[in-house]
Amino acid sequence: MKTICWNARSINTQGSLERLQSLKKIHHTSIIAILEPFADKNHINNYRIMLNMDNAISNDNGKIWLFWTNDITYTLTECDAQQITGVIKHDAFVEKFIFSVIYAKCKDQLRRPLWDRMLHISTDNVPWCTIGDFNVITSTEEKKGGVPYNMNKSLEFISVIEACGLVDLGYSGQHFTWCNQRAEQARVWKRLDRAMVNDKWLEIMPQTNISHLPYVGSDHTPLLMEMTVNDNQGIKYFKFLHCWVDNDSFMDTVTSCWNKEVHGNPMWRWHQKIKKLTTTLSAWSKKEFGDIYSKVKEFEERVKVVEDELINNNTETNRQNLHYINTTYIKYLKLEEGILKQKTQLQWFKEGDANTKYFHALMRGRRRRLFIHKICNSADEWVQWDSNIATAACEHF
């Protein structure tokens, strides 16, 4: 499924409509989002017909137009001056997902209602993608030219991204998405447009990719988003967890496994011992720790139950039981935080700063970067999707 999101800065000038019609034919898009169409929203159906789309909706101020085809089912959930959010169902995807199209205000204080809505949407435990013009950057590298950028302007946006557990999908193509089109010395470029997704989205669609298309017909570049479900779960490799060494039975388990006799040359013996040790430690970890994430949820519920029991029956036994449950719960919380920090390779979080949602999103983001999204073949043609990439690689080698 493909989506185009573009701040067209008027759909009626500089060939913007013709460009959209061409992009629709080339990429066979299911969704088109137009920001700042600068046209009467009462005429949106006329443009729907010209774009060969089946359905259309506008937000109240007419700054966001959304078109979609009948191969998806779209249910509007909320709409305001800076966003349109709805639930999408497509035959290619098992799960429904939330899709938010954003056109943020230019001034910091005016964007705050949008940040509040994003924080609210993030509480839903379903795949979520937010795409559009956020009118703010996240680092000084996302601006070129003009006066030096004051990062204080971006702190609220960065905080919202972290609180929502969102990960930037990145892009292929040119780095910036907006240019003021002024003369050489006054020209400024920024990356104002982006797509971000939550952890649930990366679970089912880690190969989602964004392309920055050329500037033609606007001072913003169109974003082309291509979504595909990853059916191949890949090989799960052994990973040593740092928390294991703190367990009293760890060294005995390692020593017992390593001392088992293996025959053959030294390299063969070493290989077999390592192979056996990884299997042994994996089984030992399941027995000693179980599923850490499930344990955290389980003990959180148990704490609630035991607290109620103590309130209803304040006895020494119930007090000791609550103390034990709290201690065990804290142990699993620390284990979970340690595992997530290790998997995301973050060293800079201070004690007490753990944001589990953000950790999970970063972990999925790192895994996503391991995917090969596109390759260029010997004919200088870009090839994408797993089966096509595999075929091209076999033909080359």
What's the CATH number where 144 sits?
3.60.10.10
In terms of domains, do 147 and 249 share one? Answer: no
In terms of domains, do 189 and 213 share one? Answer: yes
In terms of domains, do 212 and 252 share one? Answer: no
In terms of domains, do 221 and 267 share one? Answer: no
In terms of domains, do 240 and 219 share one? Answer: no
Which tens digits make up the pLDDT trace of 29-49? 999 999 999 999 999 999 999
In terms of domains, do 96 and 177 share one? Answer: yes
In the chain, the number of structural domains is 2
* Tokens coding 220: 């913003």
In terms of domains, do 283 and 148 share one? Answer: no
Q: How confident is the model at residue 347 (pLDDT cuts 50, 70, 90)?
A: very low
* Residue 206 · residue 234 · CB < 8 Å: no
Please state, in angstroms and rounded to a whole number, the distance separating the CA atoms of residues 97 and 103.
20
Q: Kindly report the number of other CB atoms within 10 A of residue 266's CB atom.
A: 7
Secondary structure (3-state) at 252: helix
pTM over 0.95: no
Residue at which a domain ends, from 197, 226, 255: 226
Residue 15 lies in a domain: yes
- If one compares 265 and 70, the residue with the highest pLDDT of the two is 70
* Tokens coding 140: 């000084």
Residue 191 is part of which domain span? 2-226
Question: Which residues, including other chains, have CB under 8 Å from residue 253's CB and lie 6 or more apart?
Answer: 280, 281, 284
In terms of domains, do 143 and 182 share one? Answer: yes
**What pLDDT, on the 0 to 100 scale, is given for residue 365?**
58
Secondary structure (3-state) at 68: strand
Residue at which a domain ends, from 257, 290, 323: 290
If you search the block for the tokens 């109620």, which residue do you land on? 308
Question: Which residues, including other chains, have CB under 8 Å from residue 93's CB and lie 6 or more apart?
Answer: 1, 204, 205, 227, 229
In terms of domains, do 119 and 266 share one? Answer: no
Which tens digits make up the pLDDT trace of 77-135? 999 999 999 999 988 888 899 999 999 999 999 999 999 999 999 998 899 999 999 99
Secondary structure (3-state) at 289: coil
User: CB-based burial of residue 176 (10 Å sphere; 0-12 exposed, 13-18 middle, 19+ buried)?
Assistant: buried
